[in-house]
Amino acid sequence: MQVSGRNEQRFHPDEVSMPANIIADYEVIIAGAGPAGLATGLHLMRRAPGLAGRTLILEKARHPRPKLCAGGLLPDVFNALEVLDLDVNEVPHVRTNWANFVYQERGFRMHAIDRDFAFYVIRRNEFDAWLATKARERGLEIHEETAVTGMHVAADGVTVETARGVYRAKAVVGADGALSIVRRHVMPREPTRVARTLEVVVPPRTGEAPPHPADEATFEFCEIPGGIQGYVWDFPTQVNGEPMRCWGIYDSRIDTGASRGNLPEALARVMARHGYGPDDYTLESHPVRWFNPRAAFSAPRLLLVGDAAGVDVIFGEGLSPAFGYGALAAGALIDAFAAGDFTFADYGDRVRQSSLGRALQWRVDAARRIYTLRRPQLQRLLWRRMGFLMRPFVNTFLINWTKRFPWG
Ligand SMILES: Cc1cc2nc3c(=O)[nH]c(=O)nc-3n(C[C@H](O)[C@H](O)[C@H](O)COP(=O)(O)OP(=O)(O)OC[C@H]3O[C@@H](n4cnc5c(N)ncnc54)[C@H](O)[C@@H]3O)c2cc1C
């Protein structure tokens, strides 16, 4: 079994020097053309096309680019895409009819309250490329293979350094993911609050235990007593039209003082029960930065969205938050340009007080309670006997936040 990491970056604020040659001037630069950056651009285009026309999205890769992610699209993503007049059925997907929440294979299942499925599963290379195409079709400018390597914030604007030259803008949106460079300018000395994940995509297989049904997803919490503050997932997916399974493990690490379980071993234990040996797959890892209500979400001329700002700690669900952050950032930018005030002083409150911020806070509270219960009897009780309480709790507090969201 091999473990490889992606997106490793090093950045030292002291190394940033003032630029000599500005190659282009924009009102807004968005660093990162993932869902959060593209959603910010699409909301700007919807609400302030003039400003969106003077906005540039810088992306270090080229779409379709790989992105480690299980690709589960919750109903909140569907609601968010409807606001943008986008239909995800245009993207290859697998419909997951039930989500099972289990402890040692027994528990309860649920699907969305107002839809006849639990969620869709997409491949991120396909979904993100589709979103980028839509953004371009609507007039947004994206420069690919242009990684942001440094920034300098001054009283009158921000200079953004890239491998291709230096850009200037009045405001910069950090949509550059969990290892955000922009975030390091907003909070240079922040303690790390990231979840760890491992993921593999494998062909369906029958093992000692019956395989999970082809159209169902499973969240297995049996590794919590062993020190994994999260779950092992098994989602149906597809690669180039072929049915596959996406397995992975999520460890929130919300209790920073607790002893830690071994991620590869924990995932291997659960996968072995389904017929997969460690030589059958190569693990990949990428962090998920989770929402911390006390963190900064902005600094003068800088805004954070998506993983750069912080997403769901309990499941690592970041795709619906990406769209909520995008709408909030677009609103903050429109107001800043109208007032000529780029302090973004109230952006953190806008995030925290929105239904997105409140749902993310509920998830922090829930994760603190659930993932610190390390006695097996308690975990068994929670997932096998408390489904009647967990279902309404999930539907009311953790998801469906998009229905109460001020899309603007
Ligand atoms: C293993 C795993 C499984 C997951 N499963 C799910 C799931 O099933 N459902 C769900 O909702 N969420 C899931 N997530 C979370 C989800 O993937 C993220 O929350 C989501 O990708 C956040 O979107 P984003 O646009 O903020 O960041 P990203 O998707 O990371 O996009 C950031 C973009 O910025 C670019 N970039 C990075 N640095 C620079 C730079 N210096 N200059 C320019 N561009 C840059 C990157 O190339 C990338 O295109 C998972 C995460 C992981 C790690």
Beta bridge partners of 398: none
Q: Is the pLDDT of residue 206 over 70?
A: no
User: Looking at the whole model, is its pTM more than 0.75?
Assistant: yes
Which residue bears the tokens 């490889």? Answer: 4
Average pLDDT estimate for 149-160:
95
CATH superfamily of 3-68+123-192+290-372: FAD/NAD(P)-binding domain (3.50.50.60)
pLDDT at site 190: 79
Per residue in 256-298, pLDDT (tens digit) is 888 899 999 999 999 999 989 989 999 999 999 999 999 999 9
For atom 19 of ligand 1, which residue has the closest CA? Answer: 318
Q: How far is the CA of 1 from the centre of ligand 1 (A)?
A: 24
Nearest CA to ligand 1 atom 49: 34
Residue 80 Cβ inside 6 Å of ligand 1? The answer reads no
**Quick one: tokens of 19?**
């630029």
| CB of residue 246 inside a 6 A radius of ligand 1 | no
Atom number of ligand 1 nearest to Cα 181: 41
**pLDDT category, 345, cuts 50, 70, 90?**
very high
**Among 170, 182, 157, 165, CA closest to 20:** 165
Residue 357 Cα, ligand 1 centroid: separation in angstroms?
19
Structure tokens at 316: 């690592």
Residue minimizing CA distance to atom 38 of ligand 1: 176
Residue 326 CB–ligand 1 contact under 6 Å: no
Confidence check: pLDDT of 2 > 80: no
Q: Is it the case that residue 326 has pLDDT exceeding 60?
A: yes
Q: What average pLDDT does range 18-32 have in this prediction? A: 83
pLDDT tier at 207, thresholds 50, 70, 90: low
Residue with CA at minimum distance from ligand 1 atom 9: 72
**Residue 159 · residue 166 · CB < 8 Å:** yes
pLDDT for the residue 209: 63
pLDDT over 80 at 14, yes or no: no
Tell whether the model's pLDDT for residue 7 goes beyond 50. Answer: no
* Tally of CB atoms within 10 A around 247: 24
pLDDT at 192 over 90: no
Confidence check: pLDDT of 9 > 90: no
Residue 101's DSSP bridge partners are 108, 219
172 ligand 1 Cβ < 6 A:
no
Would you say the CB of residue 319 lies under 6 angstroms from ligand 1? yes
DSSP SS3 for 148 = strand
**Cα 320 to ligand 1 centre (Å):** 12
**Residue 385 C-alpha to ligand 1 middle, in angstroms?**
34
CB of 317 shorter than 6 A to ligand 1? yes
Please indicate whether residue 197, judged by its CB atom, sits closer than 6 Å to ligand 1.
yes
Predicted local distance difference test score (pLDDT) of residue 8: 30
Q: What does the pLDDT average to over 218-241?
A: 97
The confidence band for 131, taking pLDDT boundaries of 50, 70 and 90, is very high
Mean local confidence (pLDDT), 161-190:
93
Q: What is the per-residue pLDDT for 394? A: 86
Q: Which residue, judged by its Cα, is nearest atom 29 of ligand 1? A: 34
| Per-residue pLDDT reduced to its tens digit, 28-81 | 999 999 999 999 999 999 999 999 999 999 999 999 999 999 999 999 999 999
Taking CA atoms, 214 is separated from 150, 187, 236, in Å, by: 46, 44, 6
pLDDT exceeds 50 at position 195: yes
Radius of gyration of the chain (CA): 21
Q: Which of 307, 313, 320 is the pocket-test mutation for ligand 1 (most atoms within 8 Å of CB)? A: 307
User: Which residue's CA lies nearest to atom 41 of ligand 1?
Assistant: 148
Task: Compute the distance from residue 107 Cα to the ligand 1 centre, in Å.
Answer: 30
Q: 109: pLDDT confidence band, cut at 50, 70 and 90? A: very high
> Among 154-158, 210-214, 310-314, 348-352, which is the least confidently predicted range?
210-214
What's the gap in Å between 206 CA and the centre of ligand 1? 31
Ligand 1 atom closest to residue 287's alpha carbon, by position in its atom list:
53
Q: Confidence band (pLDDT; 50, 70, 90) for 205? A: confident
| Distance from residue 40's CA to the centre of ligand 1 (Å) | 14
In the chain, domain spans: 3-68+123-192+290-372
Provide the pLDDT for residue 20: 56
Burial class of residue 144, CB neighbours in 10 A (0-12, 13-18, 19+): middle
Closest ligand 1 atom, residue 37 Cα: 25
Going from the Cα of 308 to the center of ligand 1, the distance in angstroms, rounded, reads 9
Structure tokens at 265: 């071993």
List the residue whose alpha carbon is closest to atom 50 of ligand 1.
69
| Cα–Cα nearest to 35, from 26, 23, 45, 43 | 43
| Per-residue confidence (pLDDT) for residue 256, from 0 to 100 | 87
